[in-house]
Amino acid sequence: MTKTLSILYAAAAGCIGLGLAANPLLAQEEVKKGGTAIIHMVSEQRILNPALRASTGVYEISGKIIEPLIDKSYDGYVPVLATEWATSEDGKKITLKLREGVKWHDGEAFACDDVAFTAIEMWKGLLNYSSALQANLESVDCPDPHTAVFNYSEPMPLELFVAAMPDLGHPVPKHLYEGTDILKNEYNTAPVGTGPFKFVEYERGQYVMAERNEDYWRDGYPYLDRIVWRFIADKSAAGAALEAGEVHESGFIGVSMADVERLSTDDRFDVGTKGYENNVAHSTVEFNHRNPILADVNVRRAIHHGLDIDFAIKTIMRGFAKPGRGPVPSVGGANYTDDVRTYPYDVELAKKMLDDAGYPVKDDGFRFKLRHRPAPWGEYTQLWGEYFAQAMRVIEIDVELLNNDAPGFLNGVYRDHDFDTANGWHQFRSDPAVSTMVWLRSGLPEGSPWTNQFGWKNEEIDELIDAAASELDVEKRAEMYHEIQRRAMEELPVIFAIEHPFISVTNKKLKNHHNTPRWNSSSWYDLWLDE
């Protein structure tokens, strides 16, 4: 018996936005082919292989070059390199039919061997979110070049598998990776895919360029000749480049919130949260539990009470956010609950809790010192780090800010563990098992970005996470996630402080933009430029 899947994505309930939607392609407009879209990028991560690193900074570029098996539209999940999917009665076997006639950019044929190799060698063992998700994957069989059979030791809900594919289902060419050191392979920074655009050049610190794939499997696409992603770290310079027409789009709140508000009144731009329904995020505070002070849950709870979340939402996010309630956001559907412990802002309570925990104020006026790394993902992550430092000083905790570029931050927190606290943002991707559970599950590969590298382990939560990932009963699975969410808010291994959407500023010369719920990460095969 098989079960096919068609899941519609509801509007992001509770997600506060600017209310300015991107204009759809109008019927009377004639598509113009050619031209170069220039896209602002805040920072670079150097790796451009989405089978090794799940990250918006990777998807924004490589999503146009390397395609997933399945993507997501406003009407539900849609076939890309996989055309059909089905599951066995016991949930331990998932069968995919693969698209025929597809070629890698170097001319080799795309086939099941590529999917099998990537799934076992990268998705299961190396890809930061996917290693936990695919822990029970035993093998991928190829009965013919266009059929892939995923074999699991425990049930894998088909809904979960499909929900993971847009972000965690990008095959790469086996013939370019087999027999190499995968982590050092040259194609990690010069990707070869099946997508509408072919990689051309990566000039470190300046730009990445991709050009039209003339042999793309979708007839007549893409419309653009090329895409150039420009790295502009300075938010003011990025805003000025938008106004001058030097770049066509800045996504993921890449410019200052002041520029977001100002440009939303400029008729040349579409400004809004449309296209991010699959990318709701939490602004976080991460703890290094190897520090014995932070290993005390009462200290972590006191720190949460010392954060004025409403003030941060108003001043940093300009109101475009809401308080977080744990690892599952309010757009998580049945898997979300707001029946959790909360930590209202209370400076005196925070001070008393720190006193009771054995950390009184010393002669220098502080209880202890924290080394804090703010993520370099744009203005608001930097401001959130600065606010954290200020708020902690109110409750007599000294905070030293350690600023880095993207590789320095990722290595400092997730590889070298050279921090006490850190902040950034973490995205929810359709299902808790796809994304947010990796912040709680212990035992993930050392150095994997955006995973539990915090020295925190709870065996009961590990067991719950594993059980929920293989539970086929939807109601039972939801209750498991409710319990995990409640436990996470009790123990606070990570503070999921603020839930927020992302915002794009897009020149209206770009047509067909933000027409999917993960648009900035998608392929842009139907994007065109009116100039």
Q: What is the pLDDT, as a whole number, of residue 237?
A: 95
When mean pLDDT is compared across 5-9, 12-16, 123-127, 138-142, the lowest value belongs to 5-9
When mean pLDDT is compared across 43-47, 70-74, 366-370, 412-416, the lowest value belongs to 43-47
Q: What is the pLDDT, as a whole number, of residue 25?
A: 42
Q: What is the pLDDT, as a whole number, of residue 18?
A: 35
Q: What is the pLDDT, as a whole number, of residue 28?
A: 56
DSSP symbols for 445-487: PTT-TTS--SS---HHHHHHHHHHHT---HHHHHHHHHHHHHH
Identify the bridge partners of residue 148 per DSSP, sorted by sequence position. Answer: 96
Q: What is the pLDDT, as a whole number, of residue 3?
A: 32
- The string of pLDDT tens digits covering residues 450-488 is 899 999 999 999 999 999 999 999 999 999 999 999 999
Do residues 277 and 404 lie in contact, with contact meaning Cβ atoms separated by under 8 Å? no
pTM for the predicted model, two decimal places: 0.80
Confidence band for 523, pLDDT divided at 50, 70 and 90: very high
Q: What does the mean pLDDT of the chain come to?
A: 92
Q: With H, G, I as helix, E, B as strand and everything else as coil, classify residue 141.
A: strand
Q: Give 294's contacts (C-beta < 8 A, 6+ positions apart).
A: 287, 288, 300, 420, 421
Question: Averaging pLDDT over each range in 149-153, 280-284, 465-469, which range is the top one?
Answer: 149-153
Do residues 34 and 224 lie in contact, with contact meaning Cβ atoms separated by under 8 Å? yes
Do residues 247 and 40 lie in contact, with contact meaning Cβ atoms separated by under 8 Å? yes
- The string of pLDDT tens digits covering residues 414-425 is 999 999 999 998
What domains sit in the chain, N to C, each tagged with a CATH number? Answer: 1-274 (3.40.190.10), 281-500 (3.10.105.10)
Q: Is the pLDDT of residue 156 over 90?
A: yes
Share of the chain above pLDDT 70, in %: 95
Q: What is the pLDDT, as a whole number, of residue 158?
A: 95
Average pLDDT of span 209-232: 98
> In whole angstroms, what is the distance from residue 376 CA to residue 384 CA?
11
Do residues 221 and 191 lie in contact, with contact meaning Cβ atoms separated by under 8 Å? no
Confidence band for 11, pLDDT divided at 50, 70 and 90: very low
φ, ψ for residue 272, nearest 5 deg: 170, -175
What burial letters (b/e) apply to 82-92, b meaning 16+ CB within 10 Å?
A: beebebbeebb
Q: What is the pLDDT, as a whole number, of residue 24?
A: 43
Output 11 or 55, whichever has higher pLDDT. Answer: 55
Strand locations in 188-338, DSSP E? 197-203, 207-212, 226-231, 249-250, 269-272, 281-287, 322-323
Output 428 or 418, whichever has higher pLDDT. Answer: 418
> In whole angstroms, what is the distance from residue 219 CA to residue 324 CA?
44
Q: What is the pLDDT, as a whole number, of residue 330?
A: 92
The single residue listed with the structure tokens 């998700």 is 133
Q: What is the pLDDT, as a whole number, of residue 524?
A: 98
Average pLDDT of span 150-173: 96
The count of other CB atoms within 10 Å of the CB of residue 289 is 19
- The string of pLDDT tens digits covering residues 307-364 is 999 999 999 888 889 999 999 999 889 999 999 999 999 999 999 999 999 999 999 9
Do residues 481 and 335 lie in contact, with contact meaning Cβ atoms separated by under 8 Å? yes
Share of the chain above pLDDT 90, in %: 80
Q: What is the pLDDT, as a whole number, of residue 429?
A: 83
Confidence band for 149, pLDDT divided at 50, 70 and 90: very high
Q: Is the pLDDT of residue 16 over 80?
A: no
- The string of pLDDT tens digits covering residues 187-205 is 999 999 999 999 999 999 9
Q: Is the pLDDT of residue 14 over 70?
A: no
Q: What is the pLDDT, as a whole number, of residue 522?
A: 96
Q: What is the pLDDT, as a whole number, of residue 435?
A: 84
Average pLDDT of span 249-268: 93
Degrees, nearest 5: CA angle 200-206-210: 20
